[in-house]
Amino acid sequence: MKDLDFFFNPSSIAVIGASDTVGSVGYEIMKNLLEDFPGELYPINIKQKPIFGKPSYKSILDVPKTIEMAVIAIPAQYVADVLEECGKKGVKGVVIVSGGFSEIGEKEREANLLEISNKYGIRIIGPNCIGIYDNFSGVNTVFLSKEKISFPQKGNISFISQSGAFAGLILDWTSKERIGISKVVSYGNKIDVNEADLIDYLYDDETSKVICLYIEGIRRGLRFMESAKRASKKVPILALKSGKTKSGAKAASSHTGSLAGEDIIYDSAFKQSHIIRASNFEELFDMAKALEKQVYPKSDGVAILTNAGGLGVMTADALEMNGLRLANLGEDTVEKLKTQFPERVVVSNPMDLVGDADKERYEIALKALMEDKDVGLIVVILLLQVPTLSLDSADIILNIKKNSDKPIIILAAGGEIITPCLRKLEEGGLAVYPSPERAARAAYALVNHAIVRGDIHRERKENIGICKI
């Protein structure tokens, strides 16, 4: 769907409340757009003074050219008047950054905005939000200073958030974690554009291979479920839902005016809509990293390859707790490897190559697992600190990956010395995790979505552990 494309790919943007006062909301929005947005930019300021060297206009109606999108960043009591002017100007989409609406009990003020929106056919994101960050088009309505926040590298994960502050945090955090982002949308009180509308847009967006949601409450549940269920057949959807407790639900209501509802209802809705639920934002992006690679298992059997027996055992535990099963290695695989390995190597699953394993032993084992029919996914554990395993082991793994359609998850951790090796693996298209629990959760997401896609012919079922497939 391209109904919302004017938000993400506008030819022109007006900033109502634009300012040259350092530190103000209007200043930061203008500054970020000037640096990132290639289209026409029009500052609107009642004082009509130049802003960042550009002539400003007292009203959007004074701008001589067509304006596709507007950002409103002025006190709440004046928003309705300027929204009316946007309607008269023929603006297609408006991001209302301003707060002071239903989140503080001003429901009538908010209803007035919706009335104007319906009158002119304007689509609204907000109010009470930070709006849009698009890493590809350069649309950046985020009013956070680049002196205090780093923006992430380009990638294929899109993040939708009710909370503007959380969206800003995610931008900074994903930058630090080297997680690639396509779009971040903060939609606040969602008087018009909601999570379902955004899912409908993003699942058809070529740069959005994974959709992540932060949700406090959903008003139109059936519409949301319909959109999510349709989209999840093509694009994996992950959700982090807050307001699980009575205290959290109360806080959500005062934050974005959301009614959080019973958490068990959301669990059921997510399951029916094929949405994978995360328990925290670290877990959300752990799963997203694996799904972004767009390589899915054809079998639900997981193989563990390790040079550290203890980590192999812990990973087996973590996989089972996530409802996953260890692959049953074929007799041909076992016999073939036994002839090539010393007796101390345990040829089973987990496969313990023992502490003196070198990169050649990993290569032999990994190739054999790639050919085993019951193996759909491989968790490769690398204890790179041992003297026999060189830091160029990444090259062997990446070469095997190029010639196989089975997903590989890397479990490795350490300090500065091994970091270049881990980064090389990541840059080569592999997801790397520092613990068995995080690697297992990523494996869970891959198997889960493969079932939804129909790559794995198995029923989704509840497991005995912490997660559901």
Q: Where are the beta strands (DSSP E) in 221-344?
A: 237-241, 276-278, 301-306, 325-326
Considering the segment(s) 149-292 as one domain, its CATH architecture is: 3-Layer(aba) Sandwich (3.40)
β-strands 377-381, 351-352 pairing: unpaired
Q: What are the tens digits of pLDDT across the range 10-54?
A: 999 999 999 999 999 999 999 999 999 999 999 999 988 899 999
Q: What are the tens digits of pLDDT across the range 214-272?
A: 999 898 889 999 999 999 999 999 999 986 656 545 554 444 444 445 788 898 999 99
**What are the C-alpha distances in Å from 242 to residues 103, 213, 286, 406?**
16, 11, 18, 34
SS3 276: strand
Answer yes or no: is pLDDT of 465 > 50: no
pLDDT at position 457, please?
Answer: 80
Mean pLDDT over residues 1-10, rounded? 87
CA distance 405 to 329: 18
H runs (alpha helix) in 95-208: 107-120, 164-176, 195-202
CA distance 263 to 259: 11
Mean pLDDT over residues 438-450, rounded? 97
H runs (alpha helix) in 11-106: 25-36, 76-89
Do 211 and 276 touch, CB atoms closer than 8 A?
Answer: no
pLDDT at position 48, please?
Answer: 83
CA distance 313 to 310: 5
CA distance 2 to 10: 12
Question: In which band, very low, low, confident or very high, does the pLDDT at 459 lie, cut at 50, 70 and 90?
Answer: low
Answer yes or no: is pLDDT of 297 > 80: yes
Q: What is 107-121 written as a DSSP string?
A: HHHHHHHHHHHHHHT
Per the listing, tokens 């959109």 go with 227
Mean pLDDT over residues 299-315, rounded? 96
Question: In which band, very low, low, confident or very high, does the pLDDT at 290 lie, cut at 50, 70 and 90?
Answer: very high
Do 350 and 326 touch, CB atoms closer than 8 A?
Answer: yes
Mean pLDDT over residues 275-304, rounded? 95
Answer yes or no: is pLDDT of 438 > 70: yes
Q: What are the tens digits of pLDDT across the range 132-154?
A: 999 999 999 999 999 999 999 99
The b/e string for 143-180 (b: 16+ C-beta within 10 A; e otherwise) is bbeeeeeebbeebbbbbbbbbbebbbebbebbeeeebb
Do 255 and 163 touch, CB atoms closer than 8 A?
Answer: yes
Do 315 and 233 touch, CB atoms closer than 8 A?
Answer: no
CA distance 395 to 25: 47
Answer yes or no: is pLDDT of 466 > 80: no
Domain 294-453 CATH class label:
alpha beta
Count the neighbouring beta carbons within 10 Å of the beta carbon of residue 40: 15
Per the listing, tokens 């290569």 go with 363
Q: What percent of the chain is modeled with pLDDT above 70?
A: 93
State both tokens at 309: 């027996």
pLDDT at position 414, please?
Answer: 85
pLDDT at position 380, please?
Answer: 97
pLDDT at position 250, please?
Answer: 57
Sign of CA dihedral 270, 303, 308, 316: positive
- Phi and psi, residue 156, nearest 5°: -125, 20
How many Cα atoms sit within 13 Å of 326 on the Cβ side? 16
Mean pLDDT over residues 375-395, rounded? 93
Domain ranges of the chain: 1-125, 149-292, 294-453
Q: Which secondary-structure segment (H or E) carries 143?
A: none
pLDDT at position 249, please?
Answer: 52
pLDDT at position 463, please?
Answer: 41
Per the listing, tokens 């592999």 go with 430
Q: What are the tens digits of pLDDT across the range 167-224?
A: 999 999 999 999 999 999 999 999 999 999 999 999 999 999 999 999 998 988 899 9
Domains 1-125 and 149-292 share a fold: yes
Average pLDDT along the chain: 92
Q: Is the peptide bond before 64 cis (omega within 30 degrees of 0)?
A: no
**415: exposed, middle or buried (Cβ count in 10 Å: 0-12, 13-18, 19+):** exposed
Task: Give the CATH number of domain 1-125; options: 3.40.50.11780, 3.40.50.720, 1.10.150.120, 3.40.50.300.
Answer: 3.40.50.720
SS3 399: helix
